A = this chain, B = another copy of it.
C-alpha cells in the first residue's frame, strides 16, 4: 500500500469525508446515527451474507486501493448472485494499520463509489478502527429474493445439468501473474487479461433475478470449481459427472494450458473465479440459454448431477482425472 504523507484524521472526520458520501441510501442517515434501516418488502426475503478479507491472505496489501475496494464488494455481490438475490446494500468494517493515510483512503473510496454506481447499491453503515495487524475488512452484503425462493446449494437433483457461466481458471493464472510476473511464452496481453480477471471479479448479478425460475440449486465459484461443485453435491446428497474438456477456458488460459504452464486440474481447482455453477433441469435449458444470450453471459454445460455419491471428472481423452481439492484452507 502507499505510505502516504497525509495522516488520517479522527474517526468522525474520516467517516464524514470518506464514508458518508458513499451512503447514498437515505435510510443510512449519512452514517450519522450508528444504524441504518432496511424497510420490509412484503413478498420478499432479505438475503444476507458476510465475508472477512485480510491483507496477505485474500489480497495483496500493495494492490491498488481502488481495486482492493472493488474486489471486496464484488466478492460479496457474487455471493448474492449465487443465491439469486438482487443487491441492496452493504455494511463495511475496516481495521487500518497506522501507515495507511488519507490518499489511500480516497482511492479506496473512489473504487467503492465506482462499483456502487455500477451495481446500484449503497453503503449502509460500518465501523473504522486502527489495528496493529494487517489491513482487515469485513463486509455484510444484503440483497432481495422473492419470498422462499432464495437459491440453495441443496436443491440440485439427479439428472440436472451442471452449467457454469463465463470461463474457469483465469484467476488461478492471474494470481500466478500477480505473484511471479508474466508467464513464460504467454503473450503480455494474455497475462494482462489474466491479472485483471484475478484483481477484478465480474459477479454475475444480472442473471440473479432470473435464477430462481431456472435453477434447482446454485453456488458462486469462489473456492474453485471442484470444491464448490463438492459443496453443492454434499448439500444435495448427490454425485456428479464432469467432462473436464467441456470446462470453458479463456483463450489466455487455453494458451497457458497448451504451453504446459498449468494443468487442467489446476485450472479446475483454482479459486477466485466468481462465476456461477448452476443445477439446471432439462426443462429449463432453453430458457436459460435464451436469458444468458440476452444478458451476454456465456453459459456452458460441463456435466450432470448423479445419484452416486461420487464426483467424477473425466479428462479430454476419456481418462479419469484425480481431483482432490477442498479449496483454500485457513487453518
Instruction: Give residues in A with beta carbon < 8 Å to B.
Output: 7-12, 14, 29, 32-54, 56-58, 79-80, 82-83, 85, 91-96, 124-134, 136, 138, 140, 145, 147, 150, 152-154, 219-220, 235, 326, 329-331
Contact = CB atoms under 8 A, between A and B. Distances in A.
Indicate how many identical chains form the complex. 2
B95 A35 contact: no
Nearest to A45: B37
B130 A37 contact: no
Nearest to A141: B35
Contacts of A34: 49, 79, 82-83, 153, 219-220
Nearest to A49: B35
A114 to B, nearest CB: 22
Contacts of A219: 34
Given A45-B38, A91-B140, A331 B54 contact: no
A44 B35 contact: no
Given A37-B47, A39-B147, 7 more contacts: A12-B326, A34-B79, A34-B83, A34-B153, A37-B48, A131-B136, A138-B138
Nearest to A85: B35
A41 B46 CA distance: 10
A138 B132 CA distance: 16
